[in-house]
């Protein structure tokens, strides 16, 4: 399967959100993200907005809904690369975003993603310990 702007990188799905999408393309991108999460069994989705310089209320809704849908598929979402002017405009426009991790750029995003992966690994190992302990007692 080929998804435009979506690629698997390490343990995450990197979505490079293009600038100037029309509404139909925004909805298609959101569906492709969900399909790709399932296909690659991804647990972390990184939405990179560094190419986006205009974000109106429809686009804000895309960020909001994609974050919620991704979380409902059991994946964590990280937003990266939102430009200063975009952030200022979105907040003044009155947009609210769900609780998500946001980072400045892709470097920070990769670092956070590795950190999240390590935490998940520790949780899995802890879980395994618990099972062993329970078995012994």
Partner 1 sequence: MAESKHFRIQDALDVLKARREGMQIAAMLGFSHADATKIAVVISELGRNIVNYAGTGTITVLTREDDKGKSVKIIADDKGPGIEDIDHVMLGGNSTSGGLGLGLSGSKRLMDEFHIRSSSGSGTTVTTTKWIR
The encoded tokens of residue 42 equal: 């991804």
- By beta-carbon proximity to partner 1, the closer residue of 58 and 127 is 58
Q: Determine if 124 is a binding residue for partner 1 (CB under 8 A).
A: no
Q: Are 112 and 79 in contact (CB under 8 A)?
A: no
DSSP label at 17?
A: P
| 51 binds partner 1 per the rule CB under 8 A | no
Helices (H), 45-96: 57-72, 84-93
Binding partner 1 (rule: CB under 8 A), the pick from 8, 10, 23, 126 is 23
Q: Which is nearer to partner 1, 73 or 86 (CB)?
A: 86
In this structure, the number of other CB atoms found within 10 A of the CB of residue 136 comes to 6
Dist CA 17 CA 7 (whole Å): 11
- Name which of 8 and 61 has its Cβ closer to partner 1: 61
Smallest distance from partner 1 to CB 26, Å: 9
Considering only residues 64-123, where is the footprint of partner 1 by CB under 8 A? 64, 84-86, 88-89, 92-95
First to last CA, the chain: 48
Binding test (CB under 8 A) with partner 1, winner from 54, 104, 122, 128: 54
Residue 52 backbone dihedrals phi, psi, to 5 degrees? -90, 120
How big is the site for partner 1, counted in residues (CB under 8 A)?
A: 22
Q: Is 18 in the site for partner 1 (CB under 8 A)?
A: no
| Tokens read off for 48 | 């990179």
Contacts to partner 1 by CB under 8 A: 20, 22-24, 53-58, 60-61, 64, 84-86, 88-89, 92-95
């Amino acid at each position: 399967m080929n998804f435009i702007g979506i690629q698997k990188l390490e343990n995450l799905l990197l979505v490079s959100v293009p600038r100037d999408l029309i509404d139909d393309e925004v909805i298609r991108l959101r569906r492709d993200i969900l399909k790709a999460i399932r296909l690659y069994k991804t647990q972390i989705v990184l939405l990179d907005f560094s190419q986006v310089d205009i974000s109106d209320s429809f686009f804000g809704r895309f960020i909001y809904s994609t974050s919620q849908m991704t979380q409902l598929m059991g994946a964590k979402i990280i937003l990266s690369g939102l430009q200063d002017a975009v952030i200022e405009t979105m907040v003044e426009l009155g947009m609210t975003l769900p609780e998500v991790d946001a980072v400045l750029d892709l470097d920070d995003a990769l670092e956070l993603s590795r950190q999240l992966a390590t935490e998940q690994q520790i949780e899995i190992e802890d879980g395994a310990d618990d099972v062993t302990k329970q078995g012994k007692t």
